[in-house]
């Protein structure tokens, strides 16, 4: 049978500190023999839109690339 978790005001404060201000991410509490031994905090950063490198090129720029590459004999295949 599992031992009851030993939790005091100090651990509650530590957990609260790790959770406070966390927008995206997780807090992992490691317990050994009914005692908290470690708290891990992983914070993620989320961005609203894609960066310029991740944006899909417009149709006109795709046609321009095809035209430029076809003049050199290279084939350009666009996969969406």
pLDDT at res. 3: 80
Look-up: residue for tokens 């201000």?
A: 21
Mean pLDDT of 68-78: 53
What is the three-state SS of 7-76? CCHHHHHHHHHHHCCCCCEEEEEEEECCEEEEEEEEECCCCCCCCHHHCCCCHHHHHHHHHHHHCCCCCC
Q: What is the pTM of this model?
A: 0.53
| 56-71 tens-digit pLDDT | 656 665 565 555 555 5
What CA–CA distance (Å, rounded) separates 80 from 6?
55
Q: Does residue 74 carry a pLDDT above 60?
A: no
> In which band, very low, low, confident or very high, does the pLDDT at 7 lie, cut at 50, 70 and 90?
confident
């Amino acid at each position: 049978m599992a031992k009851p978790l030993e939790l005091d005001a100090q651990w509650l404060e530590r957990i609260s500190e790790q959770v406070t201000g966390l927008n995206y991410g997780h807090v992992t509490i490691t317990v050994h023999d009914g005692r908290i031994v470690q708290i891990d905090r992983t914070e993620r950063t989320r961005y609203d839109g894609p960066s310029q490198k991740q944006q899909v090129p417009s149709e006109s720029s795709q046609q321009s690339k095809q035209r430029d590459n076809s003049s050199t004999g290279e084939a350009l295949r666009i996969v969406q």
